[in-house]
Amino acid sequence: MALYWSQWKPEYWNQETMDGIVNYCHSNVVRASMAVEYGGYLEDKDKQMELVETVIEAAIKDDLYIIVDWHEEKADSHAAEAVDFFGQISKKYGKYPNILYETFNEPTNQSWSDAIKPYHEKIESLNASSIYPGFLNEAHIKVVLSQSI
């Protein structure tokens, strides 16, 4: 189950929606796609953090796994902002095992070794325990799996 992009449908980033995911959809995982551009984090950091924290806290309350998605196809070009974002989230919620960090939504043409791996290493240094790097395609997955972060 996935929430729609945070900046376009923020009215669903709440406890009621998370309760519905559990009670009516019978799901135990939700992906929270926090927008980086197009009116998202880069333009309104405080609002986006509030939305993400609201659904994380709701997921914790409802015993859901939550994938916190830095929803950006050029995430390596906003590495400093991503490190800041995941640093705040992991500091506040890092003790909860049901939080997964999707640090790079659907990379496009970036090289694993030259762009994506160094980007992830910056985030990994935050001690965010459950990092999901995001993949371009099946061949990309094989490259990622052959080289640890």
User: Domain boundaries in the chain?
Assistant: 2-146
In the beta sheet, which residues pair with residue 68? 32, 101
pLDDT value at residue 137: 47
How would residue 141 be classed by pLDDT, with cut points 50, 70 and 90?
very low
Q: What is the CATH number of domain 2-146?
A: 3.20.20.80
Task: Answer whether 0.75 is exceeded by the pTM.
Answer: yes
Q: Can you tell me which residue has the tokens 């309104």?
A: 44
